[in-house]
Structure 1
Amino acid sequence: MTPGVRKKDPEYSNLMLGYPPQSSKLGGEFSKGAEALIFQTSFLTPSIPAALKFRPPKPYRHPTLDKRLMRQRTLAEARCLVKCRRGGVRCPGVLAVDWEAGVLVVEWVEGVTVRRCLDAWVHTLKRERRERAGCGDGGSDGGHEGGGLEADGAEAEQTSELWDLMRRVGRAVGRLHEIGVVHGDLTTSNLMLRPARRKAERAPNPEPGQESESSEAAAAAAAAATGTTEDATSSTPVPPTTVSTTSAEAAPSPPPPPTQPPPQEPLTSLAGDIVLIDFGLATQTIQDEDRAVDLYVLERAFGSTHPAAEPLFREVLRVYGTSYKGADVVLRRLEEVRGRGRKRSMVG
């Protein structure tokens, strides 16, 4: 059920008829794909951001078939997300599902895509090389203009973060395949880098194995930040100016409106967790062929991001090969998939 929408509301009727959500409780359209629309909204309270995925009906399909496919795909995506959360894979938590209307509400993931990380980081390295070599001289890159990621001196620390990011990607994909889930659309745009500072914030669905902060600690931190104490409730008279200043400081700032996504901060670090998103094509399978196709899709995504992505993806595969038992078999199958270009094997 869509948050805040009841069966008697006109909004529910619109969903059942296949119209996209138009309620003021939802934000504007955040993303549009081939199968679904993504809206930024909130769940239960304005302080819990959420993403609402709506699968509109396809006019070229028979209504009965379209209804069946919408229901099956919505349920399959929700089940894969739940299985991944239980298996220790970082992904959005499921908050609500309405399979009859094709609506799935999941946790909102803050961060940037791995694709943007690669683009921004390589661009930063090139700019710093030009500045050190000739203060913006276009031909001063020399051998680095081809996009090589080899670094020395001041670039060593930055490049080490990039390689560490690739290792985290390899471990995340390996864990996904180990629990028997294939993403189906594993690209750098569906891999999110969530900043490490977000882990200290309270989330509606904590990650597996992570404990949220107690309410007492949160209250103490808020009191320390605002400078308020329990003695503030005493009957001692306070000047009017002090009262207005104190109340203004203690009053919590209103949450940002859900109509606009929070502004993205400049990319200054690659530290954080890898979160997989968009499980619309995910399936539960343990077939090595499907896992190899997943890796092949990711390899093509790396190749289209930057010419220097080939050594990066080799590092992803190296870590993937050591992430779980049987990964070496998948890597051997990947060689066959490369030869036929993602086309599935007709043997077996």
Structure 2
Amino acid sequence: MGRGEPVFLPEARLHLGAEAEVTAGTWFDLPAVMKQRRARGWRHPDLDERLGRQRLLAEARILLRLHRAGLPVPALLDADVDENRLVLEQVEGRPLIDVLRDASVDDVQPLLFAVGSTVRHLHAQAVTHGDLSTNNVMVRTDGEVVLIDFGLASIEYDLERYGIDLHVLDEVLGASHPDRPGAMEALEAGYRASEHAGEAEAPGGTVPSAEDVLERLGLVRSRVRYHG
């Protein structure tokens, strides 16, 4: 962002979290959101600044990587490392959590199949999301699934991280949407059906297969039940 007239014009705060503040507005007259990372008061300022810069750069690089691969993620419009903020395309639609809670939406199985397929496409790029909740999946008016909020995403080749990614969705669907039976099964079916999404080989390693990830999901579930 330049130092003259601001090119992002804020309109409304969307979210204020521990990590960042998200504001809706316009960027050169385009609907956009600004994600401003917040200082963590309990950390030394120099350390906080360094970690914040690293995290912002990592998020920006992952978004560019996924956008180039054709994945449904918000376009990165601008990044200001000095000010610790990103400007992203505003995704029009509804969060998946709202769709699943909408009693007028009867059959959600095809939608959840699409979510599973989209997550497999994400994993095929050697990227784990880190916070795959139903708040971080948007559904456009045409039904397209878009993944948002990559603040905790990372490049990964460790099978465990992929299993944990799916387990977050599994836990959320079970806890927040118990009135949607078969939700996770539909999601897993979509994940499995997209086994050959993108390249299995990625720079730095080999992405685990869909079957291996689903098997690891089962192991993660077992561990959680045992310790619970």
Fold agreement, TM-score > 0.5: yes
Structure 2 contact 136–149 (Cα < 8 Å) conserved: yes
**How far did 1:322 drift?**
2.4
Residue 27 of structure 1: aligned partner? 11
Aligned partners of 1:191 and 1:28: how far apart in 2?
21
What residue ranges of structure 2 are gaps of 5+ in the alignment? 197-208
Deviation at 1:297, TM superposition (A): 0.3
What is the identity, as a one-letter code, of the residue corresponding to 2:194?
Answer: S
- 1:291-314 Cα distance to aligned partner (Å, 9 max, x none): 100000010111122223341111
Query: Which runs of at least 4 in structure 1 moved beyond 3 Å after TM superposition?
Result: none
Match of 2:83 among 101, 115, 122: 101
Deviation at 1:195, TM superposition (A): 1.1
2:18 counterpart SS class: coil
1:162-181 equivalence runs, <5 A: 162-181=108-127
Q: CA deviation at 1:58?
A: 1.6
Q: Contact between 1:302 and 1:310, CA under 8 Å: does it hold in 2?
A: no
* TM-score normalised by the chain length of structure 1: 0.58
Q: Report deviation, 1:340.
A: 2.3
Mapping of 1:1-348 within 5 angstroms?
A: 1=1, 6=3, 25-44=9-28, 46=29, 48-120=30-102, 123-124=103-104, 158-159=106-107, 162-196=108-142, 272-325=143-196, 326-341=209-224
CA RMSD of aligned residues (A): 2.0
Shift of 1:55: 0.6
* Aligned residues of 2:12 and 2:24 also touching (Cα < 8 A): yes
Which protein is richer in helix relative to its size?
1
CA separation in 2, counterparts of 1:278 and 1:89?
14
Cα distance per residue 1:191-250 (max 9 Å; x no partner): 000112xxxxxxxxxxxxxxxxxxxxxxxxxxxxxxxxxxxxxxxxxxxxxxxxxxxxxx
Q: Which has the larger radius of gyration?
A: 1
Q: How many residues align?
A: 213
Q: Distance in 2 between matches of 1:306 and 1:290?
A: 24
Which residues of structure 1 form unaligned runs of 5+? Answer: 12-22, 126-157, 197-271, 343-348
Change (3 A) 1:318 1:24: closer
Report the AA paired with residue 6 of structure 1.
Answer: R
8 Å contact kept, 1:91–1:276: yes
CA contact (8 A) 2:9 2:27 kept: no
* 2:144 counterpart letter in structure 1: D
Does the Cα contact within 8 Å between 2:134 and 2:169 map onto a contact in 1? yes
Q: Which has the higher contact order (CA 8 A, sep 6+)?
A: 1
Q: Identical aligned pairs, as a percentage?
A: 38
Distance between the aligned counterparts of 2:186 and 2:9, measured in 1?
A: 44
SS in 2 for 1:309: coil
Give the letter aligned to residue 331 of structure 1: L
Aligned to 1:245: none
Q: Which has the higher strand share?
A: 2
